[in-house]
Structure 1
Amino acid sequence: MADLTPDEKHPGLHISAEPVYRRHDDPGRWWNTTASTPTASFTCGTCGDSDTARGAGKVRDLVDDYTANHGPAHGRK
């Protein structure tokens, strides 16, 4: 698989979390669990800022920061 980590040439946001594979008829398959710890990284194409996070709460905070302050948000200011 290709390296999807954002960089200066390919800015953006990347989130990764390996899913838990379950049978199609398992009612527990819709739980919000993952087989591995979620990770995320971003590089902003406008200001060049970048950051990484590991763990569900920190990934959520990183996505909120990227959404509010980087990427397409630069065009809204």
Structure 2
Amino acid sequence: MSDLTPTPDRPGLHVAAEPIYRKHDDPARWWNTTASTPSGSYTCGGCGQSDTASGSRDVAALVEDYTDNHGPAHGRK
């Protein structure tokens, strides 16, 4: 698999969390649980800023920051 980390040449947002695979009839398979700690990173194509995060709350904040202030937000200003 190729490296999906955003760079100045390939800006964007990338979030990853390895899922826990369960049998189709396991009721716990619908839980929001991952096998590894979620991680995320972005590089903005508009201003060049980049950031990384690890953990559910920090990754959620990273996505919110990117969405509100970078990437597509640069076209709305």
TM-score of Structure 1 vs Structure 2, range by shorter chain: over 0.9
Letter in 2 for 1:29: R
**Within the alignment, does 1:31 sit opposite 2:31 as a pair?**
yes
Residue aligning to 1:59? 59
Following superposition, which runs of at least 4 residues in structure 1 exceed 3 angstroms of deviation? none
User: Secondary structure, in 3 states, of the residue corresponding to 2:74?
Assistant: helix
Percentage of matched positions with identical amino acids? 70
Where 1:33 maps in the other structure, the secondary structure is coil
Shift, 1:57, TM fit: 0.3
TM-score between both structures, scaled by the size of structure 1: 0.99
Is 1:74 matched up with 2:74?
Answer: yes
RMSD: 0.4
Cα distance in structure 1, aligned partners of 2:53 and 2:38: 8
Give 1:59 shift.
0.1
Distance 2:52 2:72 in 1: 18
Segments of 5+ residues of structure 2 without an aligned counterpart are: none
Q: 1:17 corresponds to which residue?
A: 17
For the pair 1:6 / 2:14, whether they are aligned, the reply is: no
How many residue pairs match? The answer is: 77
Q: TM-score, normalised by structure 2?
A: 0.99
How many angstroms does 1:24 deviate by? Answer: 0.6
2:54 pairs with 1:46 = no
